Amino acid sequence: MPPLCYRPPTMSLAEGVLAGDRRQAARLLRAIDDRQPAAEEALRALFAHTGRAHVVGITGTPGAGKSTLGNGLIAAWRARGLSVGVLAVDPTSPFTGGAILGDRIRMQDHALDPGVFIRSLATRGNLGGLSRATFDSAKVLDAMGCDVVLIETVGVGQDEVEIAQLAHTTVLVTVPGLGDDVQAIKAGILEIADVFVVNKADREGADRTVFDLRAMLEMRRALLSAGASAWEPPIVPTVATRGEGVDELVGAIDRHRRMLDESGERTRREAARAKTELTQRLSERLLERSLGALAEREGSIDDLALRIARRELDPYALADRAIEALGPEV
Ligand SMILES: Nc1nc2c(ncn2[C@@H]2O[C@H](COP(=O)(O)OP(=O)(O)O)[C@@H](O)[C@H]2O)c(=O)[nH]1
Ligand SMILES: [Mg+2]
């Protein structure tokens, strides 16, 4: 008989994720969010098992209907036999806390379906907004075997641009009835969206919004010279609350996925993403190491900064010394 407190050796986090253990996956996502060292070890082990999922980003202003639409997308993908992972990115701002709760409730429809895995991310303490924690979390869902990974982010600041870097297909959700709303879609956003949705098409002005959007896209296309992408971003009107237009949206996303595969664009996007990830990771690590080594020799970054401010040290020489502090092997 084993002693009373005996516990059999448990699976590692990575093994748990690969075996489809949802609790282990949830633990790993928390570890990523909290930047625990265990997360990196697991991600290393999972990396070879990633690259299969189609990552779809959905972005747009708060209240545009992203979560409601996400709910419809989940149902449509499930009906097609696809498993779905969802990451709802919850910006650290306390003002948006309620919105995520609402998202959770709306997505409860799928809470008992083993083919659906939904988590919200805090991305706390992450200056880049989405970035690292979201990249890594998407990999967990991918390794877990989700066919589609849907990432919902609020379209503020840099997030749209970052989501486009992370996702294979970026869906921008806009709504009618805000006057010159379409004009407010920044040029940068036009570039990054692969599929446009005009949600709340039950409201007045939806046709106008579709028309304006199309005109903007055509104008942009005319400005671009030959050699530009052959993909014409479709504009899909939807009424998310009634599930209208969801099948068309699924179709548009699927066409985009096929275009990526057939044109080689998928590989190009993944390489661009890998480059960002590699440079981020490298700079983080080098910074951490050199600041650590510098602290041992000369003092903490705050002390050094104060001495720079007092003109006792100069930042140029100190930066050189921080690099030297890494040692001769660098
Ligand atoms: N009239 C109308 N309301 C909608 C539609 N889609 C979503 N809503 C409502 O808009 C509000 C915000 O939706 P939500 O999905 O939380 O937006 P999110 O902040 O972009 O995730 C909710 O009250 C929804 O019921 C739609 O197509 N038509
Ligand atoms: Mg939402």
Q: Is 205 exposed, middle or buried (0-12, 13-18, 19+ CB in 10 A)?
A: middle
Atom of ligand 1 nearest to the CA of 238: 27
pLDDT of 185 over the 70 cut: no
Q: What spacing in Å lies between the alpha carbon of 64 and ligand 1's midpoint? A: 6
Max CA separation in the chain (angstroms): 78
> Residues 222-232: pLDDT tens digits?
877 655 567 89
User: Ligand 1, atom 12: nearest CA belongs to which residue?
Assistant: 63
> Residues 98-149: pLDDT tens digits?
444 445 545 556 767 889 998 887 765 444 546 678 889 999 999 999 999 9
If you ran DSSP here, which 8-state letter would residue 204 be given?
A: T
Q: What pLDDT is attached to residue 93?
A: 43
Q: Which amino acid does the sequence have at 16?
A: G
In testing the pocket of ligand 1, which one of 68, 156, 203, 242 has its CB within 8 Å of the most ligand atoms?
68
Q: Sheet of 195-198: strands edge to edge? A: 116-121, 84-89, 148-154, 54-60, 169-174, 195-198, 235-237
Domains of the chain, each with CATH number or no CATH: 51-263 (3.40.50.300), 278-324 (no CATH)
